[in-house]
Amino acid sequence: MGIDKENDIWKITAEIFRPSMRGSEEGSSGGGVPERQVWIAQGQDYTLLGALRDMALKVPRRVYISHTSAILIGEEVGRQGLLEFLDLWERDAEARIITNILVCRKKAEDVLIGSQGSLEKSVGLELAGLRRFSPVNGRSIVLNVHEFATLLEAKGADPFTGVVELRAVPMVPKTGGKSLGFSTGAKEIETKETTMALRLKGLALFRDDKLVGFAEPTEARGILTLQGKIANTILHVQATADESRKDNTVALEVFRLKKQIKAEEKEGQPVLTAKITAEMGLAEQAYRGDLMQADDYLFLEKQAATVIRNEAEQAIQLAKSLGVDPFGFGEVIRRQNKKLWQQLEKNWPEALQDMEISIDTQAKVRRSALTAVSPREKS
């Protein structure tokens, strides 16, 4: 379901699942074109619920919102604030707070209508899948209404969520000829066809319920690092100090990341210390050589620590410039130093801008997956 707003009029674009077998059958006979098995309905009114009800005049079945898998928020709506939407979604008996919430650049309508589908039968199912499996990347995240609202309600934290956008991706080419039949003659591919598919890209940052800016993937990873929400991510670091080498890259898979944030008071000024402990494994080695020595590991660890610290610092920089606190630093202060928080509470996210935040990163390379040396070394 997408939400947009034009001149005070809410416009809801809903993707309604069409539960017939026909869709998938057509899809399979259409030469591998992934067809969305949905019906797009739109409703407009001065309020959100009104817009939902407006759809009743256009859809021959009951529009049942419990199973809404995701809400796409148009950028314009985001900038004006999500309060109306959150109010409706928490108040309504049918709506569920486990619905995912995502932000679109520009209009939600365009994403929802424009997507041509990929593996799943609907955008909703795709987004549900992205929520489940995107955490192995660590550069974006999908929050649901409940998580979003929890961050919103916390005084010392600002909400954020993933950004979804459309991009053209290549598609399995249609073979020539009218009938697919059983002809096996290979025809030349004449045109390279593309289809519009979804992807997650970075985070949308909110100040209270209002969208204020976007974080690019690397900054997003910094934010998620400081939030402790990284399940798994890949870091690229130099294999050795020798920068002249071309094959000087190693991928480290972070599989355990912990953060510990301490709020202290130094001469009346709050000082935050974030201690990040990351455990990782050597996951891929482009470097042609042995990296199994303790010194190599120490070098990799040092590099990884630097990468993580840099990203976290970038993220803090971005947050400071936007005047938001997606890290929940305010909550940390409130929990650890109540008096200090009472002073800072009134102008919280701004106070963050002047705050000294030191980041202490520790990285540990624990193992090298299933093999110790690369295949080249073996032979």
**To the nearest whole angstrom, how small is the minimum distance from the Cβ of residue 108 to another protein?**
20
Residue 75, helix vs strand vs coil: helix
294 binds another protein (CB under 8 A): no
96 touches another protein by CB under 8 A:
yes
Stretch that binds another protein, among 61-69, 130-138, 165-173, 295-303 (CB under 8 A): 61-69
**Least distance in Å: CB of 52 to another protein?**
16
248, containing H or E segment? none
Tokens representing 182 are 């059983």
Least distance from C-beta 221 to another protein, angstroms?
29
**Smaller CB separation from another protein, 63 or 322:** 63
Nearer to another protein (CB atom), residue 20 or residue 184: 20
CB < 8 Å & 24+ apart, contacts of 82-86: 82/206, 82/209, 82/210, 83/209, 84/10, 84/47, 84/48, 85/3, 85/48, 86/145, 86/148, 86/149, 86/152, 86/209
Counting contacts by CB under 8 A, is residue 102 touching another protein?
A: no
Binding of another protein by 69 (CB under 8 A): yes
Question: Per rule CB under 8 A, is residue 145 in the interface with another protein?
Answer: no
Reduced to 3 states (helix: H, G, I; strand: E, B; else coil), residue 28 is helix
Amino acid symbol at 306: T
- In the complex with another protein, the residue whose CB is nearer, 21 or 186, is 21
- Could you tell me how many residues of this chain bind another protein (CB under 8 A)? 14
* CB closer to another protein out of 34 and 349: 34
Q: How far is the CB of 196 from another protein (least distance, A)?
A: 23
Site membership for another protein, residue 66 (CB under 8 A) = yes
Q: How far is the CB of 66 from another protein (least distance, A)?
A: 4
In this complex, which beta carbon is closest to another protein, that of residue 17 or of residue 39?
Answer: 17
Q: Kindly state the smallest distance separating residue 121's Cβ from another protein, in Å.
A: 8
Tokens, residue 156: 């010392």
- H/E segment holding residue 307: helix 294-322
Residue 29: count of CB within 10 angstroms of its CB: 10
125 lines the binding site for another protein (CB under 8 A): yes
CB of 112 closer than 8 Å to CB of 123: yes
What residues form DSSP beta bridges with 6?
9
User: Which member of 94, 208, 290, 350 binds another protein (CB under 8 A)?
Assistant: 94
Distance, in Å, from the CA atom of 30 to the CA atom of 236, rounded to the nearest integer, reads: 41
- Is 375 near another protein (CB under 8 A)? no
Residues 11-40 that bind another protein (CB under 8 A): 17, 19-21
Is residue 371 at the binding interface for another protein, with CB under 8 A as the rule? Answer: no
d(CA 376, CA 379): 6
Would you state the structure tokens that stand for residue 114, as one six-digit string? 């424009």
Residue 277 corresponds to which tokens in the numbers above? 């402990």
Q: What are phi and psi of 79, to 5 degrees?
A: -70, -30
Interface pick for another protein out of 25, 26, 32, 67 (rule CB under 8 A):
67
Find the binding residues for another protein in span 311-330 (CB under 8 A).
none
Q: Nearest 5 degrees, angle CA 101-CA 134-CA 313?
A: 85
**Which residues contact another protein by CB under 8 A?**
17, 19-21, 64, 66-67, 69, 94, 96, 121, 124-125, 128
